[in-house]
Structure 1
């Protein structure tokens, strides 16, 4: 019972602590420049661009519909300007084998 109380108190302190927010540019001044969204029963695509340099696009499809190896496959990319002024880009895929991301700034 004591360990439960200690755990609960630790969790309460952690949740009450101020949360650090990641830098993502001048968020309050950013405006949506472009937003596209296309959804079908077995596929979708979406893209977004904001005035502070954030760009994102992704698409997905249902492969092998109705079969034992049916899987939803997604891929996309995103880019943002970091606090150092450098544009960071990531391309990724997500499928039955997991999530895989690639970017020049990510470890290999």
Structure 2
């Protein structure tokens, strides 16, 4: 009986394998814009949007704008970090973050 179950499972796995044409199509999918939002019951929230910039050029880059926030459990204070991530790196900003001198 165990042999039959293993055999059926292997057959199902082999049947579910995508063909080369399908795999080729998936690999050739161009990146698209994306966005998402998430909020948890304990006050954590995330929001992010990404856009492909200069597609197909030598200077192609993904530009991401987003923010995340949380509530300090001890003080109840809400903290928020806004950020941009692009060809210049990750650039966060927030009222509670130190700022480098000019």
TM-score when normalising by structure 2: 0.64
* Separation of aligned partners in 2, 1:92 and 1:70: 20
Q: Greater Rg, structure 1 or structure 2? A: 2
Q: CA RMSD in A?
A: 1.3
Alignment of 1:21-60 (within 5 A): 41-60=31-50
* Separation of aligned partners in 1, 2:31 and 2:62: 12
User: Which structure shows the higher strand fraction?
Assistant: 1
Query: Any stretches of 5+ residues in structure 2 without a counterpart?
Result: 1-29
Query: Any stretches of 5+ residues in structure 1 without a counterpart?
Result: 1-39
Q: Which runs of 4+ in 1 moved over 3 A?
A: none
* Separation of aligned partners in 2, 1:82 and 1:92: 20
1:88 aligns with 2:79: yes
TM-score when normalising by structure 1: 0.61
